[in-house]
């Protein structure tokens, strides 16, 4: 009697269905990761690669000969390329970044999502390796070598750039500047001898939708001078060679016709040329973030406005320690009112992390965005700053439109979030009075002033929720929150429903700085 080996039902599935299951299993986040993302910003805000499953295509291809054949003939399965310092630290010989080469080869002609993370969790905030160098009078010798060097960035981009026409999303994160500078040199494709480029050069990148370049060292932006000093002048523009090629082919052909999201954090470029990468009209750009640029390398007011003019369908604008340089005085800030603002009717979210209220107000004055729903204001200046940063000019710009006859600048704001914002009670009252649609107010690390101007139905939350100091004792509290409201100088209606027994537990919504 012949012995038959029982087969799993999954082996009976059509190849097309099994292939689809493979793609779902590799590109769908694990439940634990999905739960973590639900508590904060989604990881695919940076790159789709970060929302992939821990089950890699290589794992699926190693199960059986049949699965290996299906996996290798499913190009979509190999389209997410993730490079980290682990690829360098645990390299055991053979070609460097062989996994990247294999994925690129097996992905066929499918669009690629690329994530390069050159950061080291053990980084000591130095810009160069210190081997045998005396760096502290308290430490005789301190040796540190960053695992991911500029040559590693050069190597991996040499593998990827020949397929640049297939880039759908590209995110590069570094802590040091040298690898980022190498990345910028490679992406410009303006030095043929430096990096392998497709021949002939394409006139555009029709698939690229997301470009994220981040130097993850916000402390560098707190100094007025750029470091390293010899790299402050931007030599190359990402995909700058294609810009020249496009001009030769057709004057109105954009290099990045489908770009929807652009993040330049700690990374400066040729600001005057940047808008030329985008379509002059009907740009699909939806999200723009410029953040953590020291004053020496920030875009000028004119350059900033030109960039915004190329984003008429913008939905999200984030500026943190960036934007135009300070106008130095209220008078020069008011001079911008004479110019016609940029119309952004689709803009729904503004995040303004300022280190100069006048400069931040200048940005808000240059846009006309009456449909903003979410507004975030943050004092993002250096934690070591000792003097007070009066945010009244910024609050005034948020309250009064300079182009609509003194009407509210953002009349449809429903959610307002503020962190470390310092201004007078009158300035806050003016802001609250100009937000008739406000429903939720979130404050963090600051006093809540001007609360009498808030409507009773505004829900106030405090981040983080903390206990009052142990030396502060409240003996009684009426059920509608009247006593607590008196102590906090808040309208009684704000604290309706707060239970008395929470005072000795964890009083939700009572910040440390209000006691």
Nearest to 382 by CA among 352, 423, 363, 354: 354
**Tokens (6 digits) for 315:** 């939905």
The answer to whether 368 touches 401, Cβ cutoff 8 Å, is: yes
SS3 213: strand
How many domains is the chain built from?
Answer: 2
* The token pair that represents 143 in the structure block: 């040796």
The first and second tokens of residue 209, run together, are 């939708």
315 within domain boundaries: yes
Domain boundary among 306, 325, 344: 325
Contact (CB, 8 A) for 341 and 374: no
pLDDT of residue 252: 60
Burial pattern 130-157, b for ≥16 Cβ within 10 A else e, equals eeeeeeeeeeeeeeeebbbbbebbbbbb
β-strand pairing of 459-462 with 415-419: unpaired
For 375, the token pair is 């507004």
**Domain presence at residue 292:** yes
- Among candidate residues 259, 293, 325, the one where a domain is terminated: 325
pLDDT value, residue 137 = 46
From CA 26, how far away is CA 57, in angstroms rounded? 6
Instruction: Read off the tokens for 90.
Output: 């645990």
- Answer yes or no: is 274 within a domain: yes
The rounded Cα 448 to chain-centroid distance in angstroms is 28
Residue-range definition of the domain harbouring residue 481: 464-515
Facing residues of 115 across strands? 82, 171
Question: Residue 296 has which token pair?
Answer: 């020496």
Q: In what order do the strands lie in the sheet with 210-215?
A: 80-83, 112-117, 167-174, 210-215, 261-265, 287-291, 316-320, 349-354, 374-379, 415-419, 440-444, 459-462
Contact 304, 366 (CB under 8 A): yes
The pTM score is 0.85
Whether 232 is in a domain gets the answer yes
Residue 449, in any domain of the structure? no
- Asked, for residue 29, whether it belongs to a domain, the answer is no
Q: Shortest CA distance to 211 belongs to which of 264, 273, 147?
A: 264
Rg of the chain over all Cα atoms, to the nearest angstrom: 27
The owner of tokens 């470009």 is 211
**Alpha-carbon gap, residue 434 to 504, rounded angstroms:** 37
Q: What are the residues whose beta carbons fall under 8 Å from the beta carbon of 1, sequence distance 6 or more?
A: none
pLDDT at 255: 93
360, burial (CB in 10 Å: exposed 0-12, middle 13-18, buried 19+)? buried
Query: Is residue 410 situated within a structural domain?
Result: no
Q: Which two tokens stand for residue 190?
A: 């303006």
**SS3 per-residue string spanning 283-324:** CCCCEEEEECCCHHHCCCHHHHHHHHHCCCCCCEEEEECCCC
Give residue 363's Cα distance to chain centre.
18
Report d(CA 78, CA 87) in Å as an integer: 17
> Nearest Cα to 363, choosing from 328, 322, 392?
322
What pLDDT shows up at residue 306?
A: 95
In a domain, 181, yes or no: yes
In a structure prediction context, what are the per-residue pLDDT tens digits for the chain, which is 515 residues long?
Answer: 566 667 778 778 899 999 999 999 899 887 765 555 444 445 558 999 988 777 889 999 999 999 999 999 999 999 999 999 999 998 888 888 999 999 999 999 999 999 999 999 999 889 988 765 444 444 445 688 999 999 999 999 999 999 999 999 999 999 999 999 999 999 999 888 899 999 889 999 999 999 999 999 999 999 889 999 989 998 889 999 998 765 554 556 789 999 999 999 999 999 999 999 988 778 899 999 999 999 999 999 999 999 999 999 999 999 999 999 765 544 444 454 457 899 999 999 999 999 999 999 999 999 999 999 999 999 999 988 888 899 999 999 999 986 666 789 999 999 999 999 999 999 999 999 999 999 999 999 999 999 999 999 999 999 875 444 444 443 333 434 444 444 444 444 444 444 333 333 333 443 333 33
What is the predicted pLDDT for the residue at 338?
57
Residue ending a domain, among 271, 304, 325, is: 325
């Amino acid at each position: 009697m012949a012995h038959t080996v029982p087969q799993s039902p999954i082996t009976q599935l059509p190849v097309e269905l099994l292939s689809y299951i493979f793609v779902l299993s590799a590109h769908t986040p694990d439940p634990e990761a999905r739960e973590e993302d639900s508590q904060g910003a989604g990881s695919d805000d940076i790159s789709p690669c970060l929302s992939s499953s821990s089950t890699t295509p290589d794992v699926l291809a190693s199960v059986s000969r049949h699965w290996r054949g299906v996996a290798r003939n499913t190009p979509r399965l190999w389209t997410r390329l993730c490079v980290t310092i682990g690829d360098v630290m645990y390299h055991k010989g053979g070609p460097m970044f062989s996994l990247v080469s294999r994925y690129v080869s097996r992905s066929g002609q499918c669009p690629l999502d690329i994530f390069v993370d050159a950061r080291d969790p053990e980084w000591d905030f130095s810009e160069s390796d210190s081997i045998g160098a005396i760096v502290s009078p308290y430490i005789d010798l301190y040796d540190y070598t960053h695992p991911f060097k500029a040559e590693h960035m050069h190597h991996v981009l040499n593998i990827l750039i020949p397929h640049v026409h297939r880039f759908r999303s590209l995110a590069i994160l570094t802590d040091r500047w040298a690898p980022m500078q190498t990345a910028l040199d490679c992406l410009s494709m303006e030095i043929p001898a430096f990096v392998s480029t497709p021949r002939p050069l394409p006139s555009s990148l029709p698939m690229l939708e997301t470009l994220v370049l981040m130097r993850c060292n916000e402390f560098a932006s707190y100094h007025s001078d750029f470091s390293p000093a010899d790299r402050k002048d931007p030599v190359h523009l990402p995909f700058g060679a294609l810009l020249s090629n496009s001009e030769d082919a057709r004057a109105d052909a954009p290099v990045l016709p489908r770009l929807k999201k652009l993040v330049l954090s700690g990374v400066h470029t040729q600001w005057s040329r940047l808008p030329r990468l985008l379509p002059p009209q009907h740009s699909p750009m939806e999200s723009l973030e410029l953040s953590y640029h020291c004053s020496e390398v920030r875009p000028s007011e004119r350059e900033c406005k030109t960039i915004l003019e190329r984003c008429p369908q913008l939905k999200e604008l984030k500026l943190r320690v960036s934007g135009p340089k300070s106008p130095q005085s209220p008078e020069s800030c008011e001079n911008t009112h004479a110019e016609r603002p940029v119309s952004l009717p689709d803009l729904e979210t503004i995040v303004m992390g300022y280190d100069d209220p006048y400069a931040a107000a200048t940005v808000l004055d240059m846009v006309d965005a009456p449909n903003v729903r979410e507004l975030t204001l943050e004092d993002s200046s250096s934690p070591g700053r000792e003097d007070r940063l009066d945010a009244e000019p910024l609050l005034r710009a948020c309250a009064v439109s300079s182009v609509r006859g003194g009407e509210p600048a953002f009349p449809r704001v429903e959610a307002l979030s503020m962190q470390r914002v310092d201004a007078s009670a009158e300035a806050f009252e003016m802001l609250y009075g100009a937000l008739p649609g406000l429903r939720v107010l979130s404050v963090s690390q600051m006093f809540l002033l001007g609360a009498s101007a808030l409507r009773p139905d505004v829900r106030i939350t405090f981040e983080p929720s903390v206990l009052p100091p142990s030396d502060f004792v409240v003996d009684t509290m009426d059920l509608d929150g009247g006593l607590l409201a008196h102590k906090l100088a808040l309208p009684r209606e704000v604290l309706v429903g707060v239970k008395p027994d929470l005072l000795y537990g964890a009083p939700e919504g009572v910040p440390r700085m209000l006691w």
